Amino acid sequence: MTTVTISQAPRRAVTRLGNLRWLVSDIAVLARRSLARIAREPETLMDVTIQPILFVLLFAYVFGGAIALPGGGSYHEYLIGGMLAMGLAATAPGTAVALVTDMSSGLIDRFRSLPTARSAVLAGRTISDLVTQVIGTAVVAGVGLAIGWRIHSSLADAAVAFGLALLFGYAFTWLGACLGMVLRSPEAAQQMGFVLFLPLTFVSNAFVPTQAMPGWLQPIAEWNPMSALAAASRHLFGNPNPAASVQAWPMQHPELAVIGWSVVLLMVFAPLAVHLYRRKAR
Amino acid sequence: MGEIPAIETERLTKSFGPTRALSGLDLTVPRGGILGLLGPNGAGKTTAVRVLATLLRPDAGHARVLGADVVRQAGEVRRRIGLTGQYAALDDYLTGRANLIMIGQLARLSRAQARRRAEELLARFDLSEAAGRAVKTYSGGMRRRLDLAASLIGNPEVLFLDEPTTGLDPRSRAVMWEIIRELAAEGTTLLLTTQYLDEADQLASQVAVIDTGRVIAEGTPDQLKAKVGEDRIVVQLAPGPELAAAAAVVRAQTTGPVDADSERRLITAQMPAREGITTDIVRALDVAGVRVSNVTLRRPSLDDVFLILTGHRPAAPPSAPGDGDAGQEADNAQQGGTAA
């Protein structure tokens, strides 16, 4: 209230700095809110905990025996790079569902009627989903270790692999955020997530080397960002990586491809999600 | 500062596709007191509140809250208002206390301030005991109280309440009314929307009746009631052909309009305040040999307000986006009507 008496120019400068502080605070408050729910109901983490464990067991012991790796190597070790990519992509529908739910419950209207920073709702959500992804990644690594997956490279390389995976995962949540802004019901968000996520995961080298796919499908799978992420992880962990013998650029430079895809996803979907969020006011 | 009204709208217009939700809404609400925005479902009440609370941009016209424009100075408006929508906007999975602290922090309180204020409000709204439970375990009345507490956490100067008692049982409704009166007594300006004439009557110092997105009548509840007139007497005729005769008998006893519904065999008459008029009507009908199966008296309903102010009964609710859940509102809209 006292600021009313201060002249306009300094006040604006002060509030701009203040705004940044509030933005950080708002994001933290909203991210903590989403994480508090996980703490109260850990079963909401099933899609990043139980689901990857089931997929690892399914591919390691049911399908895996029938999949031959060009160049040889352990399928169990091959599997984990793909599983990591799948686990990260699997959280994007969750981002969409959570946002649609908040939207339809009126909670987002409440946030918008408060002096809360406009972008904090989406940023808080994607950051809490990043925490979920860290948990999911740890689960995949843990179950991997249990079935015989090992890191054969340096700790630094492994750290880069996890870092790249989470960078991609975070970028991918913004696609989920866009879906959350466009779709009207949590059910639709869930189904749309599934429809996008299934081909994205399976038309890639996540579980099967692209060499085994028909010729027309190979370029699609090779340029699929999931393939780049799986190949980069395998390369950095020192796991069997048949993609190394594929001539496509992303397979030859999987780390760069992951960074490129992440930047593109962030540059396209983060501003789009914020734009769509703001458009709700019209 | 005293001259700046709490709420001011000028020719406010808002359409959703082909549906016109607001068509030139003009409102002025002085500081302090309660404005009741009264209207049927689909009249534009919720749209008006959403524009004033900076959630919707108007197509044309202006709206100011405490002198700040809701479009150009939205941030300023948000710092000074509170909003309670038709449905409790809370995180079901957080505790009541955690909800209030979160909203307090988002309303620019420090964590310590938010905690202190949350405890105050929980105690005030009789929620201290349930404060540690997840909101999804709360009853409807508790959710509404917590929702109201949430909208108060930042000490707003102007509070918007969109149908604060829709769907509540009579006891919870009375509790909400009590709280609303207290808030007004403390100097908060309240704008509350309602479909119930009695709610506006009980709470509001000023009432604006809106229909099809425009104000069609304004005044104190007493002024409005004077327009609506007195109680209604409703005569249900026994089976037989004497409707016209009965209507003539009733018309002879009252000065207000008499409505004869041949299909349902109902005669509805507006009655001047006069001792013994019910007895007179029953006696006159008996003398005329009209057989009656039921006579009831009822207070003027929102339907009557509309019948008198607009000459038509409220239209069937259009499903305007942003104007709430038509299903639930339609159910409630039936209340207050006659043997409909």
B314 within domain boundaries: no
- Are residues B68 and B151 part of one domain? yes
Dump pLDDT digits (tens) for A224-261: 999 999 999 999 999 999 999 999 999 999 999 999 99
Q: What is the pLDDT of residues A187-227, one digit of tens each?
A: 998 888 888 888 999 999 999 999 989 999 999 999 999 99
Tell me, what's the pLDDT at B321?
A: 39
The structure tokens 């779709």 sit at A183
Q: In chain A, what percentage of residues exceed pLDDT 90?
A: 66
Q: What percent of chain B has pLDDT over 70?
A: 86
Q: Which residues of B touch A110 (CB under 8 A)?
A: 83, 85, 89, 103, 150-151
Q: For residues B210 and B22, give the distance between their C-alpha atoms in angstroms, rounded to a whole number.
A: 10
CB-based contacts of B172, cutoff 8 Å, min separation 6? B139, B140, B141, B144, B145, B165
Chain A residues within 8 A of B151 when measuring between CB atoms: 110
Q: Mean pLDDT over residues B148-163, rounded?
A: 93
The pLDDT value given to residue B71: 93
User: Last residue of a domain, which of B202, B226, B250?
Assistant: B226
Q: Are B339 and B269 in contact (CB under 8 A)?
A: no
**Mean local confidence (pLDDT), A109-133:** 91
Query: Cβ–Cβ of B53/A33 closer than 8 Å?
Result: no
* Min distance A271 CA to chain B CA atoms (Å): 20
Domain count within chain B? 2
**What digits encode the pLDDT tens for the residues A266-279?**
999 999 999 999 88
CB of A40 within 8 Å of a chain B CB? The answer is yes
Distance (Å, whole) CA B201 – CA B177: 11
Supply the pLDDT for residue B3.
73
Q: What domain range includes position B90?
A: 7-226
In a domain, A11, yes or no: no
Q: Which residues of B touch A41 (CB under 8 A)?
A: 93
Q: Give the gap in angstroms from C-alpha B29 to the nearest C-alpha of chain A.
A: 20
- The CATH number assigned to the domain holding B179 equals 3.40.50.300
Q: Say if residue B316's pLDDT is above 60.
A: no
Q: How many angstroms away from the CA of B78 is the closest CA of chain A?
A: 5
Inside any domain, residue B338:
no
Distance CA B196, CA A59 (A): 62
**Residue B1 domain-assigned?**
no
Measuring CA to CA, which residue among B307, B308, B296, B301 is closest to residue B233?
Answer: B296
- Window 253-282 of A: residues touching B by CB (8 A cutoff) are 281-282
pLDDT averaged over every residue in chain A: 89
- Which of A16, A105, A110 is the best mutation test for B, with the most CBs of B within 10 A? A110
- Quick: pLDDT tens for B62-76: 999 999 999 999 999
Asked if the model's pLDDT at residue A43 lies above 50, the reply is yes
CB pairs under 8 A between A and B: 77
Interchain proximity B83–A110, CB inside 8 Å:
yes
Instruction: Report the pLDDT averaged over residues B80-108.
Output: 92
Q: Is residue A131 part of a domain?
A: yes
Residue in this structure with the two tokens 């005329």, named with its chain if needed? B288
Please determine, for residue B162, whether its predicted confidence score (pLDDT) is greater than 70. yes
Q: Is residue B330 part of a domain?
A: no
| pLDDT of res. B336 | 35
Domain match, B252 and B207 both? no
Say which of A22, A40, A114 has its CB closest to residue B103: A114
Position A5 in a domain: no
**Rounded Cα distance, B50 and B37, in Å:** 13
In this prediction, residue A99 has a pLDDT band, given cuts at 50, 70 and 90, of very high
> Domain check: are B46 and B101 in the same one?
yes
- Least Cα distance to A105 among B218, B135, B182, B139 occurs for B135
Please classify residue A73 by burial: count the beta carbons closer than 10 Å to its beta carbon, then call 0-12 exposed, 13-18 middle and 19+ buried.
middle
pLDDT at B338: 34
> Any idea which of A52-56, A225-229, A278-282, B119-123 has the lowest mean pLDDT?
A278-282
Q: Is residue B328 pLDDT above 70, yes or no?
A: no
Please tell me whether residues B219 and B237 are part of one structural domain. Answer: no
Within its chain, how far is the Cα of B211 from the centroid? Answer: 13
B70's CB contacts (< 8 A; 6+ apart) are B51, B52, B53, B54, B58, B63, B64, B77
B28 with B169, same domain: the answer is yes
Q: For residue range A134-184, what is the model confidence (pLDDT) as tens digits?
A: 999 999 999 999 999 999 999 999 999 999 999 999 999 999 999 999 998
Q: In this model, does residue A13 exceed pLDDT 50?
A: no
Q: CATH number for the domain including B243?
A: 3.30.70.100
End position of a domain, from candidates B226, B259, B288: B226
Residue of B nearest to A26 (CA): B106
User: Taking 50 as the threshold, does the pLDDT of residue A29 lie above it?
Assistant: yes
Q: Which of A29, A105, A282 shows the shortest C-beta gap to B106?
A: A29
- Which residues of B lie closer than 8 Å to A, measured between beta carbons? 50, 53-57, 75, 78-79, 81-83, 85, 87-94, 98, 102-103, 105-108, 134, 150-151, 154
The closest of B149, B157, B164, B154 to B188, measured between CA atoms, is B157
pLDDT for B302: 57
Q: Name the packing angle between helices B111-124 and B140-152 (round to 10°).
A: 140
Mutate to test the interface with A, among B22, B51, B76, B106 (most CBs of A within 10 A): B106
Assigned domain for B138 exists: yes
Per DSSP, B275 falls in state T
**Predicted TM-score of the model (pTM):** 0.79
Q: What is the DSSP string of A62-100?
A: IIGGGPPPTT---HHHHHHHHHHHHHHHTHHHHHHHHHH
Tell me the chain A residues in contact with residue B105 when contact means C-beta distances shorter than 8 Å: 25-26, 29
Q: What is the mean pLDDT of residues B90-116?
A: 94
